[in-house]
Amino acid sequence: MSLIRPLHIVQLGSDDSVFQQNAPSDSTKRQLWYGEILAQKRPDSRLTCFVLTKKPNLKPIYHDNVAFVPIKSLRFVKNILVWNALRKLHREREVDVISPQDVDSVGWIVPIFGKLYAIPSVAQIHYDLFSQHSMRDHMGWGISGWLRKKITFFFLRRFSAVRVVGQAVRTNILKKRLHSKVSVIPVPVTLLQTSNELNHHDHKTPRVLFVGRLSKEKNLFEWLNVAKLIHEKKPAVEFDIVGDGPLAKDLKKKALDLGLGDCVNFLGSVPYEQLADIYRSASVFLLTSHYEGFGRVLVEASAYGLPSVAPRMSGVEDIIIDNKTGFLCEQGDLFDITDKVLRLIAAPELRCAMGQDGERYVTRTFSPKMIAETWVDCLIDATAGQITLPPLRPTWKRWWKQSSTQFSVLRGLEYESIDGLTLYGRTLDIGGGKKSSYLQKIIFRGEVESVNIDRNIQPTFIADLNNPLPIKNAAYDNFVSLNTFEHIFQDRAVIREAIRVLKPGGYFHIIVPFLYKVHGSPYDFHRHPEYWWSDYLKSLNILPDNITIEPLLWDMASSGFAISEFQHNFRGVRKRLAMLPGVFRALRWKNQKRLPWLIGDRESVYALGYHIHGKK
């Protein structure tokens, strides 16, 4: 029996290279790493990657516990399609965390969906959210751009946590008070796993390299202008551009117009596994982007001992140590950029020293396995606050069974929650005895002992639970207690004692009333809400991940009925009618095991009792 529950994590992205062979990206490998680490930390967990794509006829791909599921990226309805896909998936297997890689479009609906279904959401920001160029590219210009930015910042605050890939973005988010829980977690660079062999860049023909998407944010027209200046001073230098994108045709024309047709090589998309040889063949890596989130190509270059020249900007400054692992220049200063590239080309010893320093730095700082584990931990941590579950959804089957029982509404829900519970090893029943009616609901695979002050219940030990238990430490594998702690004046003491006699790794099941009439046995002292239980158990060194609180209720109306059912002895038809509205109200959630937040969180305030269970 394990209370470390498996998780279902959903990521939303747009890198559809996961559906192709020999992809130019290592996205598939990274997601499989996440899935592997997740399974190690939480056995039987699952990672679903929704991929927005414009490519037709793509089908889901499954690798062990990782699924890649395409969603059509239709401009005006993609948010609706994502919403429906999330809802359908959540019905099939409850989702525990959602993490979108887009905070300025699809990212708007994720915190809403998360709030509705009580699912934490973790935003991912993979670009410089505050750069003028990135704001223009992602938000647009004018009033529409201003409005889009305001909406994005509004919803950003609604995420449970935020992941950024650069330190400067985190600093700005905290400074502008857009969120308080922001973690810097770069993108794992899987090439670092294969770059440990000695790297040589002592070539007769100097080569300047760019790797990336041929799109406007990479500012490759400026890159070609720098190439022109270098070519004028060093005609022997070759220039390699690796990648594809919407500007490929225009860039080739620009290269011809600049007279660089013979020395600029457009290599197109290259399978990711072949990039290692391309990095080793180069002398200098040149980046001229308008903005970067992280600049993973700089990590890849350094991993193969290749020094870089790049603009001084967010993300890049986290990777390049100026004058040690490469050179940082002011954006748009073509002459300074040209001078730094020529300086590296002319000094093989300097290139070698910078390359070695860069290789050591990125290997130490950006270990891909360490980063991947940190990211998975971040997603798992987002679920840590989910101690209290939404209540179970009323169904026709449950209605018939619950309304037909001779027990009170609360007692029926209590017995339902423990029906079929299997406990292995030695179990202590606190407040019970051989005559306790609930024992027939639980399956015991081992010895059962009990402690009670009432001899008539036939307990194993007769003791006043207000005092320390006459039992040695860590004696039991489990303890159960039903409707007992509310009768103990020193309830904190008896709970502390119960945890004391439990073995490390042992399990506990506590059931207590909440909205329930005062009843003697001989006295009735306490009613604690869910927050008290979670806080007190945590104070006894029970980990939050090991605590689950289930509110025992049908709906608000039946809770009101239950308060008066003893006074008026409501049974039979009256009880059925009182519980019937809950079924109708939950019909729209018919495929849900539990009620979503808009109903569930509001309903749990009217809990008749709680089933608190966990692991020491």
Residue range 385-414, pLDDT digits in tens: 677 888 888 999 999 998 888 888 899 999
- CATH topology agreement for domains 191-365 and 396-615: yes
SS3 of 502, please? strand
Backbone dihedral region for residue 444 (phi beyond 0: left; psi -120 to 50: alpha; all else: beta): beta
pLDDT value, residue 354: 94
The two counts, helices (H) then strands (E), for the chain are 20, 23
pLDDT value, residue 342: 95
Topology adopted by domain 396-615: Rossmann fold (3.40.50)
Peptide bond before residue 522 is cis, with ω within 30 degrees of 0: yes
Which 8-state DSSP code applies to residue 13? E
pLDDT value, residue 200: 54
| SS3 annotation, 247-289 | CHHHHHHHHHHCCCCCCEEEEECCCHHHHHHHHHHCCEEECCC
Domain ranges in the chain are 8-188+376-381, 191-365, 396-615
What is the strand order of the sheet 461-462 is part of?
Answer: 461-462, 448-452, 427-430, 476-482, 502-513, 609-615, 547-552
Name residues whose C-beta falls within 8 Å of residue 322's C-beta, 6 or more positions apart in sequence.
312, 328
Topology adopted by domain 191-365: Rossmann fold (3.40.50)
Residue range 432-478, pLDDT digits in tens: 999 888 888 999 999 999 999 998 989 999 999 999 999 999 999 99
pLDDT value, residue 195: 57
Residue range 537-560, pLDDT digits in tens: 999 999 887 899 999 999 888 888
Q: Which tokens is 469 given?
A: 């238990």
Topology adopted by domain 8-188+376-381: Rossmann fold (3.40.50)
Share of residues in the chain with pLDDT > 70 (%): 96
pLDDT higher for 314 or 522? 314
